Amino acid sequence: MITYLPENHLKVIAQVEARMGDRLLGREEKSHYHQFKVKGQDAKDLIRFLRDEPSLGFAMFIDITAVDYLKYPVAQPERFAVVYTLLSPELGVKAQVKAFVPDGDPRLPSITDLFAGANWTEREVWDLYGIEFMGHPDLKRILMPDDYEGHPLRKDYPLKGRGERGNFPVYHASTQRPKGEG
Amino acid sequence: MTGSTNDWTTTTLNTAINWARANSLWPMPFGTACCGIEMMATFMAKYDASRFGSEVMKFSPRQSDLLIVSGRISLKMMPVLQRIWEQMPEPKWCISMGACASSGGVFDTYTLIQGVDQFIPVDAYMPGCPPRPEAFLDALMMVQEKAKKGQAKSQEYVTSDGASDPAKSVAFRTPDTHYRHGVDRSTPQHAHHPVAAEAAGNPPRHPAADHAAPQAKT
């Protein structure tokens, strides 16, 4: 069982700030963890540091998700943000890395070589947001059908789709009997 | 030729066969969500659907004649459901259990089918979210009444597209040719956008056009 030790947050903040310097866009205190905001190209460096630094030891990968700030009222550095959550069993704290990715051709280096568990979650982010992870071993859709077009969790995607849900063969299409029957 | 012995024999035989079918409806459960739990409760000891001759829960469509769609059906699950419906032998009946299967329920989104009756014939609609087991038994008895009359929704209609077209029917797809990379987007089945669908010779279907209001009357 992992004990939550909030006093270790300061240790994490000091280490990350010393490492990233002015590449750190900002940090935010959440309820049980701290969130570090970086640019997309710096995210993997920071995650590798969090994992490999002996005094930190963020050895457990929790989750990857993404945010689309297209219609967000507060201005953000970029349109997309990919959010990585990590846990340090030694320190008993979580840390989040928020990597901002520009619109147009959103790309990030994959972290599957650091954490094997990131494989499917990166596929999910690719499927629903269209953010490409460079170096992923098998980047294909995981939730939507393979031949689906578009990335449905983007804010500019219509809520009711583009007619996909009405496009199947119909098994009771007509009450007209063909000629020669009954 | 009226009143002959043959007529009397065949009508009586039909009545006997329909009675036997109605009292041995073997369900093919298709539980995808919370309604599936209520369906399980119906088949357990307290509500005991075995009293209606439906105790044989067949998880193979080839030995069942009552499809129970209980739960929301997504874009990715609809071909599977249609395939199961095609594999069931005639005569067959279908119960649409709960709000999601009947109309999409509260999930009016890009990935949820807005009522399975748009694509497969449905004999009885069950309101509720989720319906209680009593509602399930009511629907089961409605289907029994239809079966005793020799009626089935699947026989009221003629399939004009889909089942008879190898390019579109799920029966002609195998697991190897279904969801696969590099799918042929020229077939109407993969033309998702309405404009692309028209270009491929498959006018987009408007569900409201030929879709009558759901009625559980038999």
**Which of A152, A157, A169 is the closest to B82 by Cβ?**
A169
Rounded CA-CA distance A103/B34 in Å is 38
The per-residue pLDDT for range B135-156, each reduced to its tens digit, is 999 999 999 998 888 777 776 6
pLDDT at residue A131 tops 80: yes
Rounded CA-CA distance A132/B65 in Å is 46
**Which of A167, A169, A175 is the closest to B192 by Cβ?**
A167
Q: Is A108 helix (H, G, I), strand (E, B) or coil?
A: strand
Least confident among A31-35, B81-85, B108-112, B193-197: B193-197
Handedness of CA B157, B160, B165, B170 (dihedral sign): negative
Rounded CA-CA distance A55/A57 in Å is 6
Q: What is the mean pLDDT of residues B114-123?
A: 87
Does B204 sit within 8 Å of A166, measured CB to CB?
A: yes
pLDDT at residue B180 tops 50: no
Is pTM beyond 0.85 here? no
Q: For chain B, give the percent of residues with pLDDT over 70.
A: 67
Which residue has tokens 């993997």?
A44
pLDDT at residue A182 tops 70: no
Banded pLDDT at B2 (limits 50, 70, 90): low
The per-residue pLDDT for range B7-46, each reduced to its tens digit, is 777 778 888 888 888 898 999 999 999 999 999 999 998 9
CB-CB contact of A33 with A62 (8 Å): no
The per-residue pLDDT for range B37-77, each reduced to its tens digit, is 999 999 998 998 889 888 888 888 888 999 999 999 988 88
Furthest-apart CA atoms within chain A: distance in Å: 85
Q: What is the mean pLDDT of residues B197-208?
A: 46
CA angle B56, B57, B63 (to 5 degrees): 80
User: For residue B95, what pLDDT is reported?
Assistant: 92
Is B214 or B114 the better-scoring residue by pLDDT? B114
pLDDT at residue A79 tops 70: yes
A161: left (phi over 0), alpha (psi -120 to 50) or beta: left
pLDDT at residue B6 tops 80: no
Q: What is the mean pLDDT of residues B181-207?
A: 45
| Number of neighbours of residue B176 by Cβ within 10 angstroms | 7
- Retrieve residue A143's tokens: 């939730």
C-alpha distances in Å from residue B69, one per residue of A129, B78, B169: 31, 11, 20
B160 membership: H or E segment, kind and range = none
> Burial of A142 by CB count in 10 Å (0-12 exposed, 13-18 middle, 19+ buried)?
middle
Q: Is A60 helix (H, G, I), strand (E, B) or coil?
A: strand
Mutate to test the interface with B, among A165, A174, A181 (most CBs of B within 10 A): A165
- Written as one letter, the residue type at B14 is N
Does B191 sit within 8 Å of A167, measured CB to CB?
A: yes
| Closest chain A CA to residue B120 | A171
CB-CB contact of A82 with A106 (8 Å): no
Phi, psi torsion values for B27, nearest 5 degrees: -80, 145
Is B2 or B18 the better-scoring residue by pLDDT? B18
**Which of B110, B113, B190 is the closest to A159 by Cβ?**
B110
- Retrieve residue B166's tokens: 């190898």
Q: In chain B, which residues have their Cβ closer than 8 Å to the Cβ of A146?
A: 179-181, 183
Q: In chain A, which residues have their Cβ closer than 8 Å to the Cβ of B184?
A: none
User: For residue A173, what pLDDT is reported?
Assistant: 54
| Number of neighbours of residue A159 by Cβ within 10 angstroms | 8
User: For residue B204, what pLDDT is reported?
Assistant: 46
Least confident among B11-15, B46-50, B117-121, B209-213: B209-213
Mutate to test the interface with A, among B158, B164, B185, B210 (most CBs of A within 10 A): B158
Ordered alpha helix ranges (H), A90-141: 118-129
CB-CB contact of B90 with B62 (8 Å): no
Q: Is B74 helix (H, G, I), strand (E, B) or coil?
A: strand
Q: In chain A, which residues have their Cβ closer than 8 Å to the Cβ of B169?
A: 169
Q: In chain B, which residues have their Cβ closer than 8 Å to the Cβ of A145?
A: 75-76, 179
Q: Is B150 helix (H, G, I), strand (E, B) or coil?
A: coil
Does B160 sit within 8 Å of A174, measured CB to CB?
A: yes
Mutate to test the interface with B, among A148, A149, A170, A176 (most CBs of B within 10 A): A170
Q: What is the mean pLDDT of residues A125-134?
A: 91
- Distance between A153 CA and the closest CA of chain B, angstroms: 10
User: For residue B150, what pLDDT is reported?
Assistant: 79
Q: In chain B, which residues have their Cβ closer than 8 Å to the Cβ of A162?
A: 110, 192-194
Q: What is the mean pLDDT of chain B?
A: 75
